[in-house]
């Protein structure tokens, strides 16, 4: 099975193709151009590297936040149009959940962990998982000071995307940095082993979890029950 995975939640564009033999072909662009101007180039670069033709893709997976509203919209809209255009199933998961999936790497078994993404100013998007990767909190938006209080480093280690190394400064935490290539390989391996089930994405719904935010940090969009 050939899977295309797309991520635009880090104000950049990442795409990878994981083929039938579990080889991963990765493309990335963090230029000053708008994501809407680079996403097509990034996706087709991954296709070229993999030598997988469009007709040989079996499904598409896209991250759907949390993060900047425009970034999420670019990735999800592109993936939805791409999937409908060539009649493929489209699945989604949050970037924090993608960070939490470990299939090949040993992690500390005596600790829970938190997946972290920077938000605005001193705020972070955070989600906690147990040592087996099961969610134990919803997606939270908290300050760094509250992070230390709610998730003490004696009980939790932290996981971030390698792209965020220079932005997410965490003291005292045992830190694991993960590349998009490694994460997508672990994602597909977990799906193959049936350790994970993804939700199908049929329509764009920006008011569903996880959260999106506009330029003003006070603006916060989430589902209201």
Confidence of residue 213 (pLDDT cuts 50, 70, 90): low
Query: CATH for 97-178?
Result: 3.30.420
What does the pLDDT read at residue 211?
57
Its CATH class, for the domain covering 3-94+180-213, is alpha beta
Determine the Cα–Cα distance for residues 5 and 26; give it in Å rounded to an integer. 9
Instruction: Inform me whether the pLDDT recorded for 182 exceeds 70.
Output: yes
CA atoms within 13 A on the CB side of 166: 2
Q: What is the mean pLDDT of residues 42-60?
A: 96
223 by DSSP, 3-state: which? coil
106 has pLDDT over 90: no
HEC string of 134-166 equals CECCCCEEEEHHHHHHHCCCCCEEEEEEHHHCC
Percentage of the chain lying above the pLDDT 90 cut: 64
Q: Residue 48: pLDDT band by 50, 70, 90 thresholds?
A: very high
Domain assignments of the chain as residue spans, ordered by start: 3-94+180-213, 97-178
The model's pTM is 0.88
- Asked if domains 3-94+180-213 and 97-178 share a fold, the reply is yes
Residue with tokens 């400064």: 169
Tokens of 223: 């589902």
């Amino acid at each position: 099975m050939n899977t295309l995975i797309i991520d635009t939640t880090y104000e950049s564009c990442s795409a990878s193709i994981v083929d039938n033999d579990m080889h991963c072909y990765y493309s990335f662009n963090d230029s000053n151009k708008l994501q809407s101007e680079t996403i097509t180039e990034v996706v087709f670069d991954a296709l070229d590297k993999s030598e997988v033709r469009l007709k040989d893709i079996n499904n598409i997976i896209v991250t759907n936040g949390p993060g900047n509203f425009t970034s999420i919209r670019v990735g999800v809209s592109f993936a939805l149009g791409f999937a409908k255009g060539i009649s493929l199933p489209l699945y989604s998961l949050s970037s924090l959940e993608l960070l939490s999936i470990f299939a090949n790497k040993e992690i500390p078994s005596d600790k829970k962990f938190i997946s972290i993404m920077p938000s605005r100013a001193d705020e972070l998007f955070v989600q906690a998982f147990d040592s087996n990767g099961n969610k134990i909190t919803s997606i939270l938006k908290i300050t760094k000071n509250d992070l230390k209080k709610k998730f003490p480093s004696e009980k939790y280690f932290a996981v971030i995307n390698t792209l965020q190394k220079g932005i997410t400064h965490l003291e005292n935490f045992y830190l694991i940095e993960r590349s998009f290539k490694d994460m997508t390989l672990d994602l597909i391996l977990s799906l193959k082993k049936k350790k994970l089930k993804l939700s199908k994405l049929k329509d764009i719904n920006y008011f569903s979890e996880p959260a999106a935010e506009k330029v003003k940090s006070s603006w916060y969009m989430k589902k209201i029950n």
